[in-house]
Structure 1
Amino acid sequence: MGRLPAAVQGPSSGLRSMKDTEASWPLTVVTLSEPFDLVANLSEAQDPRIRLVRPEEVEDPGAVTCALAWRPAADAFDPYPNLKMVSSIAAGVDSIISCPSLPAGVTVTRVRDDEQARMMAGFAAWHVAYHHRRMGDYLANQKTRSWDRVYRPRMASTVPVGILGFGLMGQQTARVLTAMGYRVLAASRSGGTGMDGVEIFSGPEAITDVAARSEILVNLLPLTEQTQDVLNAGLFARMPEGAVLVQLGRGEHLVESDLLAALDSGHLAAASLDVFRQEPLPADSPFWDHPKIVLTPHKASDTTRDEILRQLADNYAALIQGRIPAGAVDRSAGY
């Protein structure tokens, strides 16, 4: 069995420093999160291989080899010199990878859940159809008891829909949208594998190229240094007049003032927003009352608590056996 790639190796002592190739269950996992009590949040989850503890409940920090994290404090990892793996509770790992106390050699894993991807795809498809079929106008007409058919529907095949990010979520969303008849374009960092009915763009201009060709643009990008603030005035200017943004990635992707300007000028027709720079969204945010915005509270997709623990245990078992965990991320790429 070869060594793990550098991007997913454990501490510099390497896998050979582990005396056993089988985990000792139950594994004590410290939970590290500033906004949430993960022990309480996951109290109903069941996996006999995992025992979750809060930092104050750890008797011997040197014995801790695994952590479960979400938005950890800057110094969260400092007390644990022998960490081998840190697992996110979700698909995103940006707050973990950017944490200054995360040791360089620790393997970071995330949740990769096909059911969650299908949930995301359904949510994205709903918003695409909502804007394509102008459902907001019909909802407004219902309030005034107006029997106005608004417009003659366009066939889905004439509506180009762009997807930014072509990982598990993006690919499943593309499958659903192509099945609905939409013309789908996708921006992929690596180019990836082809998919029937999807035009894939890769390279440094892929995001701009897709945005410029899309009447509805769905953002599913991971958050990295390269993608932060990517949804900005420059990108909006390249989008067709009357285009729509469906923002399902990370709040830090969007320059919020630029979106408001694009909507108020009429260049963008509408936006659906599920993620925000500050969550919960402040009560005084202009997004709440904006007539061109559909807003949801970061609920596009989710995974079960049992699945979080199952994948954590499976990933840890793979790691100590010298295999690449299924959920391992490339820390240099950010996902």
Structure 2
Amino acid sequence: MAAVAKRPPLTVSLLWRALLRATSSKTVWAMLAGGAMAMLIRYLQDMLRRFQQQEAESLWRRHVDLGVVQACLLTTEHLKSLGRVEKRTLFVKPIAEVFRNEYVLANVLRTAEKAVAKNEPFLVTHMSQEDKWHVLTTCTNHLSSCFAPYHVFFNEARRVESYYQSAWYVFTLTCAQTEASGRWFITPLKPVGKNDVGMLRIRILMMNEQELRDISSGAIEPPSFGFFNGRHESRWTTCQRFAELFGRQLTRVAGTDDVGGAEWGPNLCGRLSNSKKKGSNPLLSSMGSGPPEPEENCILRIHVPFPAGKGGGIEESDSRRLEECVSKDVVLFE
């Protein structure tokens, strides 16, 4: 019987040489490199996810939400009787959906931070005249889409008997955080305390033009018994500032300080240049001598059609119907 060959003893040097032979293949090194890269990517993804979660929690606890744009309507319908300035939300959209251009988006966010630092909620006062125009017209498109079918119905109201009428609203862009208390009536047995602050958010703020006229002229005043709470008093301060910007624009266009009775004129799309084109507003042309100030061109008007309870019928004069149907800007741009 042949003797079985005796294997050499297993030593560290033999194991090391075997490992070197196994790892000399390029395939093995590629697998090791791929595994290490996958682990590194997974680790970085986990780190980024944890950072985003911590940042989101920090913003939430500080009541900061600059990732969306809220369009809202302020109204003084209950100011005299209850001391309340009501806020009605029209829509809430991701800010990247409202301002799709990355440059415009970055500009709006940067200006919002500047406005908050200077305690000026109307952030458009910190924009250049050109940027104001593009930002506000972008907001016009989103606001107008809220009343999309009504525009078609009101357009047909010029031809047939209809109950559709129209109203003029004014809007601007703000960024502010209400720090006054306002939720105590929801939890009367457990007040929320000092941290009862509103959300810091970019808002498209809209108000009825006649209300702004009445606030600017003093026809609408806060009640003698005070406001419902600090939150509504803060909203009233915003309304007053809004009316101030509105009155400033109207008096410059109309050439009179009578805000309550001043008219925008027949052509509000006039140019500041000395153009002699037909339809150019001579009053606007005369304003082209100096550059607009930061508080000018901070508002735009928007035509809002609505179904009314009683229609004017087709017997109304054509001139009045046309005046109600034509949308006009309130800007003093070149």
If the TM-score is normalised by the length of the shorter chain, which range does it land in? under 0.3
TM-score w.r.t. length of structure 2: 0.24
Structure (1 or 2) with the larger CA radius of gyration: 2
TM-score w.r.t. length of structure 1: 0.24
Higher helix share: 2
